[in-house]
């Protein structure tokens, strides 16, 4: 149990365009979802956290107008990278937890490799 999927797994887009990444919890209800970014050989950095039906909470230094997060249901969250630039190229990983089930467990999706040309 506790599977998180992401789509797409890889995406290449041109500079200036927008790209949407979906994160789904397949067999549990994700009361809280997290979006991370990981640059090569670096650590995972939390970008934002969202609760279903609420606005996302962004970490310091993350532009909320550039990285749009929508947590529309208990099984789906989307991250839209708007007006993408080459420096946005990274590995984006979502994570989800059901606060009603566990005091700490957080399940990670397989990640999305974004390349902006």
Partner 1 sequence: GQNIDQPTEMTATEGAIVQINCTYQTSGFNGLFWYQQHAGEAPTFLSYNVLDGLEEKGRFSSFLSRSKGYSYLLLKELQMKDSASYLCAVRDYVSRDTGFQKLVFGTGTRLLVSP
> Between 49 and 70, whose beta carbon lies closer to partner 1?
49
Among 31, 80, 82, 89, binds partner 1 (CB under 8 A): 31
7, 13 Cβ separation under 8 angstroms? no
> Between 79 and 111, whose beta carbon lies closer to partner 1?
111
Choose one: 12-20, 34-42, 63-71, 75-83; the region binding partner 1 (CB under 8 A). 34-42
Dihedral angle of Cα 93, 85, 83, 91, to the nearest 10 degrees:
-10
Query: Shortest distance, CB of residue 57 to partner 1, whole angstroms?
Result: 7
By CB under 8 A, is residue 27 in contact with partner 1? no
Distance CA 35, CA 43 (A): 13
Beta strands 44-51; 107-108: pairing state: unpaired
């Amino acid at each position: 149990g506790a599977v998180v999927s992401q789509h797409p797994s890889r995406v290449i887009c041109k500079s200036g365009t927008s790209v949407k990444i979906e994160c789904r919890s397949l067999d549990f209800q994700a009361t809280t979802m997290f979006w991370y970014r990981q640059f090569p050989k670096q650590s995972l950095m939390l970008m934002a956290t969202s609760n279903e039906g609420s606005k996302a909470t962004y970490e310091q230094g993350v532009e909320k107008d550039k990285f749009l997060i929508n947590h529309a249901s208990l099984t789906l969250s989307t991250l839209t990278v708007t007006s993408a630039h080459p420096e946005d190229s990274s590995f984006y990983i979502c994570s989800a937890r059901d606060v009603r089930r566990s005091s700490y467990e957080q399940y990670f999706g397989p990640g999305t490799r974004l390349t902006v040309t």
